[in-house]
A and B are shown apart, each in its own frame.
Chain A
């Protein structure tokens, strides 16, 4: 299981914003898409990530945070994933480094975003699937084969 398998069932969308857009515009995007982070892009290249946490931090000390622009608040040192990165490594890195959103790039081009929620769900489904398969085999073994 790798990042590509998560993106495959997420539709083609990663919501992006330009660095010069205002925080007000960014908030509208977060609300409209019901998400927790936006990827700041110049062309197709991610240059930063703006999370709800970045906005909260600014709001706590600056009442006029609405007027600022994405470039002021975004995190520039973005960790990105690649489609073939495996789920275990990604889960480990996101947990250890407390990353909730991972932009995914392929040859420098932004192709999607994976959230920690996506990773947890994929892991849960993966383990559930394994348990289910093992149980089916064990039960069949006890009850004797049908064939």
Chain B
């Protein structure tokens, strides 16, 4: 009888797809187990950390300190990073099944939800995540262009991505110059003629996802006045009752801050940021050339569903908000992976507590798992992915104990490495990444910035002498 993998002679071999926070948390939980596990972490980009590098705003460096935790995980000798190796292209599911007992998908929510309104596709209307990926130096988005000669910009949504976008649009070049924003983005934003920025929430201040520190930050911008409308920051009766009932002090505080903004008078700063609530775009209007010129907004009211959740409902009152540039940030969805069952309704991999399910039988597929946003949808902060990954890893060890693992023909660490080397000779190991990291931070030090990012694959390879 053969023993189960997980011993020094026969380690459990796990491939993790996606080197964002969830990928590292999953690796951490796997490596802390008493079983002997050898983890290979794959990412389609050369660089690790996912949205911590390419999503978190450049003026929020403290949030990026979590990479220290990831570096500790990567220091484990039973961990390897294969950067620049894309699942489904460079290595297929069939390849991985030949080399690993278990595979975990941690690919996040890579695409924006559509608003489903007329005119959404007009020129000048962009998904907010494209702008975020662009200013953060994502190699796939560095060639995006945004018409920053426009004076009026509308950002639809009040989640943290929307708030990041308005903040970056309102910052001065001097404020941005001390961050690790991509150089080309800094240059483009230096020439920005943006004057009026609108943040549009479909519900009231009590339901807005942004946190109090985020709202406060908007009131402390060097050269942008923040304002809100008194009638929109006043809580409606349903929201007031909900806030009082739950004695929710954070929300009370949020409303106080917003009321103070509504009372502020412009102080003559070059830009103005207006926070709007209880409005939904119903149409984007354009000119003959197909450029967006305005948003048609409908005023909403809130109603309580049977569980007491407050949802917006359109009234008959409309207004037109002129804007030559629009960023849409109304939610995200995962992208299906080749050969992996997908749950279209939720935009996630079809799963039960992280076990990938067969589309037809709805029974777990041996050896395949999901964790993070591709498992539960895009919600929570970075740390929320830790308990999420732990749940998936617990299922993996349960299945291992029951003998429900793949039986790879080549479970040796060297076999997988040889495969990667053959398919993608220019892959980055973790040592390669740390070398690049050192060069980036050294370039940053010279300019008083946390780092100066490399933003193209060619630059990254050249920096390492390839």
Judge whether B381 is part of the interface by a CB distance below 8 angstroms.
yes
- Of all chain B residues, the one with the shortest Cβ separation from A7 is B346
**CA distance in complex: A84, B71 (Å):** 36
A131 to B383, CA, bound (A): 8
Closest-by-CB residue of B relative to A131 is B383
A132 to B385, CA, bound (A): 10
Please indicate the chain A residues that have their CB under 8 angstroms from the CB of B451 in the complex: 147
Closest residue of chain A to B381 (Cβ to Cβ) is A133
- CB-CB under 8 A from B308, the residues of chain A are 89-90, 92-93
Q: Give 1 or 0 for each of A78-108: 1 = CB within 8 Å of chain B CB.
A: 0111101110111011100000001000000
Contact check: which of A11, A81, A125, A145 meets B65 at CB < 8 Å? A145
Check if A4 is an interface residue, CB within 8 A of chain B: yes
Task: Enumerate chain B residues within 8 angstroms of A125, measured Cβ to Cβ.
Answer: 380, 384, 387-388
Interface stretch, picked from B163-171, B256-264, B347-355, B420-428, is B347-355
For B375, give its contact among A8, A90, A132 (CB under 8 Å): A8
How many of chain B's residues have a CB under 8 angstroms from any CB in A?
50
Q: Is B343 a contact partner of A79 (Cβ separation < 8 A)?
A: no
Contact of A133 among B245, B379, B383 (CB under 8 A): B383
Taking a contact as CB atoms under 8 Å apart, the answer to whether B65 and A137 are in contact is yes
CB distance B309 to A12 under 8 Å?
no
> Most A CB atoms within 10 A — which of B242, B362, B383?
B383
Q: Which among B66, B71, B362, B379 has the highest number of chain A CB atoms within 10 Å?
A: B379
B376 touches A140 (CB 8 A): no
Known contacts being A11-B352, A13-B362, A92-B246, is A130 close to B384, with CB within 8 Å? yes
Min C-beta distance of B450 to chain A, whole Å: 5
Contact (A145, B61) CB under 8 Å given A4-B377, A102-B307? yes
Cβ-based interface call for B63 (8 A):
yes
B30 to chain A, nearest CB (A): 18
Closest to B64 in A: A147
Closest to A81 in B: B307
Given contacts A79-B306, A136-B69, contact A126 B384 (CB under 8 A): yes
User: In whole angstroms, what is the CA distance A26 to B16 when docked?
Assistant: 41
Whether a CB of chain A sits under 8 angstroms from the CB of B345 is yes
A140 vs B63: C-alpha distance in the bound complex, in angstroms? 9
Would you call B7 an interface residue if the criterion is a C-beta within 8 Å of the partner chain's C-beta atoms?
A: no
Give the distance to chain B from A106, nearest Cβ to Cβ, in Å. Answer: 8
Tier of interface size on chain A: 35 or more
Would you call A93 and B246 a contact (CB within 8 A)? Answer: no
Chain A residues, CB < 8 A from B377:
4-5, 8
Q: Tell me the complex Cα distance, A140–B358, Å.
A: 42
Instruction: Tell me if A60 is interfacial: C-beta within 8 Å of chain B.
Output: no
B386: contacting residue among A2, A9, A128, CB under 8 A: A128
Within 8 A of B (CB), among A2-60: 2, 4-13
Minimum CB–CB distance from A51 to chain B (whole Å) comes to: 17
A-facing residues in B373-405 (Cβ within 8 Å): 375-377, 379-388, 391
CA–CA, A131 and B354, complex, Å? 23
B141-160 toward A: CB 8 Å interface, digit per residue (1/0)? 00000000000000000000
A-B pairs with beta carbons under 8 Å apart, 21 shown: A2-B379, A4-B377, A8-B348, A8-B375, A9-B375, A80-B306, A82-B307, A84-B311, A85-B305, A85-B309, A89-B308, A93-B307, A126-B380, A129-B387, A133-B63, A133-B384, A136-B66, A136-B68, A146-B67, A147-B61, A147-B67
Taking Cβ atoms with an 8 Å cutoff, the residues of A that contact B are 1-2, 4-13, 79-82, 84-86, 88-90, 92-94, 102, 111, 124-126, 128-133, 136-137, 139-141, 145-147
Apart from A129-B384, A136-B65, what are 7 other A-B pairs with CB-CB below 8 Å?
A8-B343, A9-B375, A82-B306, A93-B307, A111-B345, A137-B66, A147-B64
